Amino acid sequence: MPQLGLLHLRAWAALLGQLRRPSRAVCVRTVHSHSQVTKAVLTSQLKLHQEKSNFIIKTPKGTRDLSPQQMVVREKILDTVVSCFKRHGAKGFDTPAFELKEVLTEKYGENSGLIYDLKDQGGELLSLRYDLTCPSSLTYLCEVPFARYLAMNKLKKMKRYHVGKVWRRESPTIVQGRYREFCQCDFDIAGHFDPMIPDAECLKIVCEILSALQLGDFLIKVNDRRILDGMFAVCGVPESKFHAICSSIDKLDKMSWKDVRHEMVAMKGLAPEVADQIGDYVQCHGGVSLVEQMFQDPRLSENKQALEGLGDLKLLFEYLTLFGIAEKISFDLSLARGLDYYTGVIYEAVLLQNPPQAEEGPLNVGSVAAGGRYDGLVGMFDPKGHKVPCVGLSIGIERIFSIVEHRMKVDPDVW
């Protein structure tokens, strides 16, 4: 009996052992499951490693670093510009890098799409300044932040300069000095003065700076928004299309008349015969003699706005002659400057040729300075609509820097 009892216990122990041991199928499934997990983990780690190894350290598109050697050249350019501003009695000035979004987006017309928006910050919708005057392009100026400042502080007269970074959300062309982040140098005169004296001073400043930088021969194109609007009116452009057509004309420095005409007719709905009449005007450029010629134009002479603009340009050329810079100025009816807030004289400086040292091929950087009169901008921010006449200019530091760099590649001692 005792032996039978012992055997009985051993049998039960063996049976329990079999029950506790997983079946072969279960073991296979478990091993397979562990294998899949291990494979997934290894694959994930490998992918992360590959992504890390493919990561390229670089600056964001449209921006760049400046080496200590480059900063020496850049600071020399800035010193030349700021010294000229100070000689003309301007005081330093600064505004925040970002503004309320509504302050910026309503002032730049079609260019508002180039503004960088920031996420909601403390209940405020903000945007990085597009220029310094409202905060301006180089074909767009820097007037909006300045106008906002004048209205906020109820200032009626000020002569200021502003050096700072601005941001433009556009496709950059680095070789031509066009960036998404760039430095802008602005000079503005606010207040009531004798007609065209501040405008002439701004053109004198541009001439002084470009001559001091020795970039080569240059020309400053001038026009007047009232002449443009008068030209559109006598040619038959509907008033509702003035800004749109002005924006197209503003592209004539980058596009042929044929392409601009196509844009106005096919994309903006302008009648072909109206576009052809505009073409007769925008291909005209010259000095004070052209101003006199436009006074005799049978259509423009019947438009009040155009006559006012022509009268101011005639007076402007008289001051420019006294300043000794009239030969550097060209009355150009194709100059449009796309920003909506310009109200009078507009201007843009371009280099006529590459510096003789630049033998590596042409370097087309577009305008190197620009500006204009914006008499109504401050009133847009003033609760009572009080206007403060303003005129200003912007120097294209990045484009000038690109030209100097291009020259230094040929002759390192040129700067």
Region 153-181 average pLDDT: 78
Q: So what's the pLDDT on residue 178?
A: 66
Per DSSP, the residues of 3-68 read HHHHHHHHHHHHHHHHHHSPPHHHHHHHHHHHHHHHHHHHHHHHHHHHHHHH----PPTT-----H
For the chain, give the mean pLDDT. 82
Which residue do the tokens 């992918």 mark?
47
What six digits make up the tokens of 273? 């015969």
Confidence of residue 339 (pLDDT cuts 50, 70, 90): low
Which residue do the tokens 């042929």 mark?
256
Residue 407 CA, chain-centre distance (Å), reads 24
pTM score: 0.77
* SS3 of residue 113 by DSSP: helix
Confidence of residue 247 (pLDDT cuts 50, 70, 90): confident
In tens, the pLDDT along 176-217 reads: 556 778 888 999 999 999 999 999 999 999 999 999 999 989
Distance CA 321, CA 226 (A): 23
Higher pLDDT, 88 or 70: 88
Rg for the chain, CA atoms, rounded: 33
Q: So what's the pLDDT on residue 7?
A: 46
Higher pLDDT, 195 or 415: 195
Distance CA 133, CA 371 (A): 10
Q: So what's the pLDDT on residue 205?
A: 98
